[in-house]
Amino acid sequence: MTALDALTPRQRDLLARAAQSYLRGLGYDLGETGPRRDGVDGDPGKLTRDALVAWGDRAFPAPPAKPAAPELTAEMRAWYRNLWDSMRIGDAPAIVNAVSLITRARPRYEAIEKQTGVPWRVVGVLHYLECNCNFARHLHNGDPLTARTVQVPKGRPATGNPPFPWEASAQDALQYDGLAGQSDWSIEATLFRLEKFNGWGYFKFTDILSPYLWSMSNHYTRGKYVSDGEFDSAAVSKQVGAAVLLAVLAKAP
């Protein structure tokens, strides 16, 4: 039951009349019904509904539709921007803990930023999501640095001998996925690249937004790939999404 379902008939009538009075004051033609012959009659008929939609389209434009393909087009930028602007986050302990992990390692992420051009916050967010900020793991996918990666992407870094220094592996991961050397780190481009880093499975094959970006925000409830190619609609991500982390980290000095 919603709050509207709990309204009494009198309250429903008053709500409709309030909306009609507002629309009439804006100049919308609601007909000549009602005691004042101005369409304010408590009955949301066709003229009222049409006026309501016309007003709503101007005051509260519909969000952009999901683009057809995962490419950084103007449509994709508008889609990510709308999601970012409408994101709401809470104060879950997991968010606080994740931000603490990232900020403690900021000097190491800043060193990678100097070498690759990837903002330290983005490096830190990827490191958290891939291996909980463990410096004994590859940034590519969380595999141990004692050998080349075995998960996708497999066999990285392609050169050098294990055990790999974390910094060398991190640079390889950012170069391999095309993040290194980029100049556009607007929030739209950043979200696009982070989702691309994780893969387009959610975007292409599900109706939910990727928890890799939106977990622990109002844009995500449940649904998760629990292994490569295996989607569980009831599973819930326990990680903090990248967009949430970026929003909180943006407030850090």
Which conformational region is residue 37 in: left (phi greater than 0), alpha (psi within -120 to 50 degrees), or beta? left
Each residue of 140-160: pLDDT tens digit?
A: 999 999 999 999 999 999 999
- The verdict on residue 66 lying in a domain is no
The answer to whether the CB of 247 falls within 8 A of the CB of 213 is no
What pLDDT, in 10s, does the model give residues 16-75? 999 999 999 999 999 999 999 999 999 999 999 999 999 998 888 778 999 999 999 999
CA distances from 121 to 104, 118, 252 (A): 12, 8, 10
Is the residue at 68 inside a domain? no
Say yes or no: 85 and 130 in one domain.
yes
Does a structural domain hold residue 207? Answer: yes
Asked if the structure places residue 3 within a domain, the reply is: no
Q: Are residues 139 and 231 in the same domain?
A: yes
Q: What phi and psi values does residue 89 have, to the nearest 5 degrees?
A: -130, 160
pLDDT at 1 over 60: no
Report percent pLDDT > 70 for the chain: 99
Go through the chain and tell me how many residues it has: 253
pLDDT for the residue 3: 78
pLDDT at 251: 87
**Residue 131 lies inside a defined structural domain of this protein:** yes
Mean pLDDT of the region 192-213: 96
94 is in which domain, residue-wise? 74-249
Residues 168 and 112 in one domain: yes
| Total structural domains within the chain | 2
27 and 92 both lie in a single domain: no
| HSE value, Cβ hemisphere, 13 Å, CA-based, for 4 | 3
**In terms of domains, do 115 and 196 share one?**
yes
Residues 114, 166: one domain?
yes
The per-residue pLDDT for 222 is 96
Q: Which tokens is 240 given?
A: 């903090």
Question: According to the model, what pLDDT value does residue 239 have?
Answer: 96
87 with 54, same domain: the answer is no
**Domain assignment present for 2:** no
- The verdict on 33 and 143 lying in the same domain is no
Residues ≥6 apart with Cβ < 8 Å to 88: 217, 218
In this prediction, residues 205-214 reach a mean pLDDT of 96
Task: Write down the pLDDT at residue 133.
Answer: 98
Task: Based on the fold, state whether residues 81 and 17 are members of the same structural domain.
Answer: no
In the structure, what pLDDT confidence band is assigned to residue 95 with cuts at 50, 70 and 90? Answer: very high
What are φ and ψ of residue 177, in 5° steps?
Answer: -90, 5
